[in-house]
Amino acid sequence: MTAFSLEPAQLTWCAELRALAAERLHPLAEKGEPGRVNRALLTELGALGLLPRLFTSGALDLCLMRESLAHACTEAETALALQGLGAHPVHAHGTEAQRARWLPRVSDGSAVAAFALSEPDAGSDAAALRLAAHPDTRSDGRTGWRLTGEKCWISNAPEADFYTVFARTTPGAGARGVTAFLVPADRAGLTGTPLDMLSPHPIGALGFDAVPVTADDVLGEPDRGFRVAMDTLNLFRPSVGAFAVGMAQAALDATLAHTAARDAFGGKLRDLQTVAHQVAEMALRTEAARLMVYAAATAYDEGAPDVPRRAAMSKLLATETAQYVVDKAVQLHGARALRRGHLLEHLYREVRAPRVYEGASEVQRGIIAKELYRTLDATAKEAGT
């Protein structure tokens, strides 16, 4: 199997996921409240065996899940993805006790996870985190930290049951002075506020007022939390691209059906060369983005050395492509696509956020350039030039 030709079993699985999303997940999503965690939807994702796959599948399978679900139910896709984003650090870097306590509940949908990296003044520049972890000695003599500061733009906040929190344990050390902590939502001093956002999934801000954490709450090693964050993002960035590809494909499919049926100028819209060429361009870009996403995910699964560059490229191309395709779809549908409740009205709101979260498009370009020059410098060094 290559990244460019899925096996028949994978194609069948994707078709089954699209059917499940339409028949069983979309009705539950429709009953959810915008801006709130849909726990019934999470429970169903767990019952269908999709949440457990977050911890047993590779990057390519994650992409196939996200793309397939997004095609029919973006809410289900996002609910699944946010569980994975918040819980992957526990799965990959947590202790046996941390995994035993939280991962079964994440897998059955009874516990909501969240990834708390961004801050009011440290979104794209993740190494500039200011949430402070001050050393603290407890009454029982154990040493730990007190977390003081803010997090912002956190998906699933403030309704999550636990947060993967990144805090500065060594001032002035940049990326090398950040530690990842597993913080249960009921920890004293932790508060949250929902934010009213364009995207329908829950996003909030968190306040930390001397929140106590100990060595038992550390994910990975102290001062090595930035590695935990980047490992998680390198896995999930291609799958953000897969989410975008799923939305682009849904918009393209709707446009094909509409232009084939719509009467205009004595024929069908599809008969107009300008329309046909736009549809062809939408399809071309969607397929190119899909292939780059699959290639990046395969590189991750194979442990390739250029994963950061490939992950950034796939996320950048796919999210920018989805924005283009959905916008063109709206234009070709006309005013009906702007009516509340129309598929494209929904996609138009959904498609904007992925170009910002998990590293804005500008950040992805910066990563790509950095990796290219790093490779160039390493090659030159080996050649002795």
CATH of residue 193's domain is 2.40.110.10
Whole-number pLDDT of residue 264:
87
Both 187 and 254 in one domain: the answer is no
Note the pLDDT of residue 2. 53
Do 247 and 169 reside in the same domain of the chain? no
Mean pLDDT of 170-192: 94
Say yes or no: 236 and 146 in one domain: no
The answer to whether residue 269 scores a pLDDT higher than 80 is yes
Strand extents, DSSP E, 287-331: none
What is the per-residue pLDDT for 138? 72
Q: Are residues 343 and 359 in the same domain?
A: yes
Q: Is the pLDDT of residue 350 over 60?
A: yes
Is the same domain home to 146 and 289?
A: no
What range defines the domain where residue 71 resides?
8-108
Asked if residue 277 belongs to a domain, the reply is yes
Picking from 108, 126, 155, the residue at the C-terminal end of a domain is 108
49 Cβ contact list (under 8 Å, min separation 6): none
Contact 234, 289 (CB under 8 A): no
Q: Has residue 238 got a pLDDT over 80?
A: yes
pLDDT tens by residue, 79-111: 999 999 999 999 999 999 999 999 999 999 999
161, 42: one domain = no
84 and 126, same domain (yes or no)? no
Q: What is the CATH number of the domain that holds 78?
A: 1.10.540.10
Is pLDDT at 3 greater than 70 in this prediction? no
Q: Would you say the C-alpha torsion 314, 319, 325, 326 has a positive or negative sign?
A: positive
- Mean pLDDT, residues 285-303: 95
Residues 216, 286: one domain?
Answer: no
Contacts 24+ apart (CB under 8 A), 28-37: 28/76, 29/73, 29/75, 29/76, 32/75, 34/200, 35/194, 35/196, 35/197, 35/200, 35/201, 35/202, 35/203, 36/159, 36/202, 37/79, 37/112, 37/156, 37/159, 37/160, 37/202
Provide the CATH number for the domain around residue 302.
Answer: 1.20.140.10
pLDDT at 174: 82
Q: Are residues 133 and 146 in the same domain?
A: yes
- Rounded Cα gap, residues 334 and 69, in angstroms: 26
2 domain-assigned: no
Domain annotation covers residue 175: yes
What's the structural domain count of the chain? 3
pLDDT tens by residue, 71-84: 999 999 999 999 99
Q: Are residues 212 and 238 in the same domain?
A: no
Cα(123)–Cα(322) distance, rounded to whole angstroms? 23
**169 and 39 both lie in a single domain:** no
Domain stop point among 223, 242, 270? 223
- Helix ranges (H only) for 177-270 are 225-261
Q: Is the per-residue pLDDT at 1 higher than 50?
A: no
Which of 108, 130, 147 marks a domain boundary? Answer: 108
Residue 311 lies in a domain: yes
The residues assigned a catalytic role are 358
Q: What pLDDT is recorded for position 87? A: 97
User: Is residue 75 domain-resident?
Assistant: yes
Please check whether residue 315 lies inside any domain of the structure: yes
3 part of a folded domain: no
Residue 92 placed within a domain: yes
User: Between 79 and 263, where is the model more confident?
Assistant: 79
Residues 261 and 343 reside in one and the same domain: yes
- pLDDT on residue 259: 96
